[in-house]
Structure 1
Amino acid sequence: MGRLVEGELQQVLRLQVTLYACRERLLAATDPEALHDLRIALRKLRSLLQPLRGLPACAALQQQAAELGRSSGPLRDLEVLIAHLQSQGQDMRDAVNLRQPRLLTGYAALLAGAALPALFGALDQWPQLWRQAAADAELRGLANRVRRRLAKQQRRLAEALVDPAHDRHRLRLLIKRVRYGAGAYPKLSGLSAKTLARLKAAQSALGDWHDRLQWLQRAEQDADLTVCVDTWRMALQAAEETADLALLALQEDFTSTG
């Protein structure tokens, strides 16, 4: 197999080991970072697979990775909210205590659900499928395929950055895809260290904005969060301003190449 083909195989196998370890940490129920680390490994796996979309060898693994991402996302959002409430001290202790059982129930549901076993089943089957695809010459021109897909992601981001009616939600997703794609394929992305730093800054600011927006929406349903609304509104505005500056900086990188 070629270097890229073999490298892809080794990266997925390493991520499989990491995902198994994260599952065991979740089962132990003593590690508050277990779900976060599981989703990081899952994100890296999906970033490796995304430019390979359309290859039959990757279809099942892509599907199962996406499903686990969807099913674990709301649980991670609850984790982030609880961590924020804990950082506010004794004033929010009751709010934390109210939500902590929901989090534990969510962990149990994730572990008992179908998404994790389905992903591990797909991971077990994938190496044989990948090697067979290589043997059948289905992976010829893999580097060019990946390079084209990454370039397409970057063009989409460039177009969105100059759209006067840009949607922050969409920009956040596009930035994540471009940044994580570059992380998965650093030699094929063509992005400089400066651009990667700007992507990270924009993603961070948009992430802060997204969290506060979600929490404000949740406060409309949860009366015990009303006390936080004014603070979250101010934080939302500050995150919007920070994000807008970061997006302007990104335009310098992507509009010249988009």
Structure 2
Amino acid sequence: MGRFIGAELQQVLRLQITLYACRERLLAATDPEALHDLRIALRKLRSLLRPLRGVEACDALQQQAAELGRISGPLRDLEVLLAHLQGLGMRDAVSRRQPRLLEGYRALLADDALPALFEALDQWPHSWRQAAADAELTGLAKRVKRRLAKQQRRLGEALVDPAHDRHRLRLLIKRVRYGAEAYPQLSGLSANTLARLKAAQSALGDWHDRLQWLQRAEQEADLAACVATWRTALQAAEEAVDLQLLMLQEDFGC
């Protein structure tokens, strides 16, 4: 087994251990960072697997990781909102939503997506070794490098599109950044570029949160007191995003 193929195996096994630990922390219901850490581990796993699409050994695992990421996203959004409301001292608003959060944890733990992911993780090492033995992984590092470069080209094109969509740019930036973190030797991106990607992602995250919260406030009357503040913050976030995106144009040949 080649060095690259062996390194992939070790990284996935380490993430499997992390995901098991996060599940136990969620079951204990005493760790407010458990879901956040679970999603970070899922993101790292998906970033490893995304450039390997088309490799049969990886496709099922990628699908299960994506599904768990999808169903846990709204729960994480609720966690972020509650932390924000707590910081504002809005205890009643937090108390009204806390049962929904706890029920969300229970629903996530009971969902078929969690055991399905662990079943796929258990099966993956054998499938990966078999794919290597069958010469299905020949030239894999070069394929990954080409796919990372393609992601970067897509981001560069989107950055100069006058009709660019911030939601799509947020997704593209995350994919480029996390892909580079998963494959630092293949991405070709400098530390400075990675720092700018991180700053742009953070600014887009602030914008996305405020936009979501304003949408919630249209349906949840007890959030009305925050609307003016959130609108001001949204405008500031949009300005910060535009500045960060302009800086990124220099890094991606725009």
Name the TM tier (shorter chain).
Answer: over 0.9
Report the equivalent of 2:68: 68
Q: What is the letter of the counterpart of residue 169 of structure 1?
A: H
SS in 2 for 1:217: helix
Give the Cα separation in 2 of the matches to 1:250 and 1:24: 39
AA in 1 matched with 2:67: E
Question: For 2:160, which of 156, 159, 162 is the aligned residue?
Answer: 162
Letter in 2 for 1:43: R
- Residue number in structure 1 paired with 2:32: 32
* Alignment deviations for residues 50-109 of structure 1 (CA, whole Å, 9 cap, x no partner): 0000111111101100000001000000000000000001xx111000000000000000
5+ unaligned residues in a row in structure 1: which ranges? none
Question: What SS does structure 1 have at the residue aligned with 2:54?
Answer: coil
2:134 alignment partner in structure 1: 136
Q: Which AA in structure 1 matches 2:24? A: E
**2:234 maps to which residue?**
236
- In the alignment, the residues of structure 2 paired with residue 248 and residue 194 of structure 1 have an alpha-carbon distance, to the nearest angstrom, of 15
Q: Secondary structure at the match of 1:150?
A: helix
Aligned residue for 1:93? 91
TM-score by length of 2: 0.99
Q: Which amino acid aligns with 1:125?
A: Q
- The correspondence for 2:197, drawn from 192, 196, 199, is 199
Return the alpha-carbon distance in structure 2 between the equivalents of residues 79 and 185 of structure 1. 30
For 2:8, the equivalent position in structure 1 comes to 8
* Aligned-residue offset at 1:255: 2.1
Residue of structure 1 in register with 2:80 after alignment: 80
The whole-number CA distance in structure 2 between the counterparts of 1:59 and 1:42 is: 15
Kindly provide the amino acid, as one letter, of the partner of residue 153 in structure 2: R
SS in 2 for 1:191: coil
RMSD: 0.5
Q: TM-score, normalised by structure 1?
A: 0.98
1:173 pairs, out of 140, 160, 171, with 171
SS at match of 1:231: helix
Moved over 3 A (4+): none
- Residue type at the aligned position of 1:86: Q
